[in-house]
A and B are shown apart, each in its own frame.
Chain A
Amino acid sequence: DTGVSQDPRHKITKRGQNVTFRCDPISEHNRLYWYRQTLGQGPEFLTYFQNEAQLEKSRLLSDRFSAERPKGSFSTLEIQRTEQGDSAMYLCASSQDGRRNTEAFFGQGTRLTVV
């Protein structure tokens, strides 16, 4: 079990640039989540996938954000025209199914700094 991995671990970008993050979930997990965490706050839900289907997007996810999971395995999160307010830790998690009593396992996150 290699756990959830995220790449890159850190990203510094200039305002207005596009960035893309990758998440590789635990291999047998069919549910994948994206969260955002800012300093002093808990993780905020952004979106999730069941296999390749994106089933829910938070209102926090503006139209500059897009996520994909094309083959039901790894996922990407793209932010277009980044803004300073996008600076945060972006966390990916996976779980074996989508039941409310199933725990999710998290990656170490990608820390985005927009300058």
Chain B
Amino acid sequence: AQSVAQPEDQVNVAEGNPLTVKCTYSVSGNPYLFWYVQYPNRGLQFLLKYITGDNLVKGSYGFEAEFNKSQTSFHLKKPSALVSDSALYFCAQGKDDKIIFGKGTRLHILP
């Protein structure tokens, strides 16, 4: 069974608007959760991670993610989207000794 689920294949947001990319995780002890971004012809880049502590995690490029234990969610957010944020975003979960990835959500920021 997949560790993380990304229910949206694609998300479209107008530039300047807030964005949310959704992720839910499987419950297995303490969840260790990550977000990565993949730009065209580039490798996966680490954005942020949740280990424990504050439910709001801040990461690179102005992104943040909110950990919600009751909803088993770890949604990625940004207050004001940029066209350059257009990319493929992956939610991931640390499981055993490896990182398991979701299927990804393609984010389109419309100018």
Shortest Cβ gap from A3 to chain B (Å) = 8
Contact B42 A43 (CB under 8 A): no
Kindly state the interface size class of chain A when it binds its partner: 20 to 34
Instruction: Of the listed stretches B14-22, B64-72, B73-81, B94-102, name the one at the interface; the rest are far from the partner chain.
Output: B94-102
CB neighbours of B98 from chain A (8 A) = 33, 45, 48, 56
Q: Of the 9-residue stretches A65-73, A75-83, A103-111, which lies at the interface with chain B?
A: A103-111
Residues of the B chain whose Cβ atoms lie less than 8 Å from the Cβ of A43: 44, 90, 101
Determine whether A4 belongs to the interface, using a CB cutoff of 8 Å to chain B: yes
CB distance from A6 to the nearest CB of B (A): 8
Main secondary structure of the interface of A (DSSP, over half): loop
Asked if B94 and A108 sit within 8 Å, CB to CB, the answer is no
Q: Is the CB of B49 within 8 A of A109?
A: no
In the bound complex, residues from chain A placing their C-beta under 8 Å from that of B97 are: 31, 48, 55-56, 98, 100
Residues of B within 8 A of A106 (CB): 36, 43-45
Q: Which residue of B lies closest to A33 (CB)?
A: B98
A35 partner residues in chain B, CB cutoff 8 A: 101
The reply on B58 being an interface residue by CB < 8 A is no
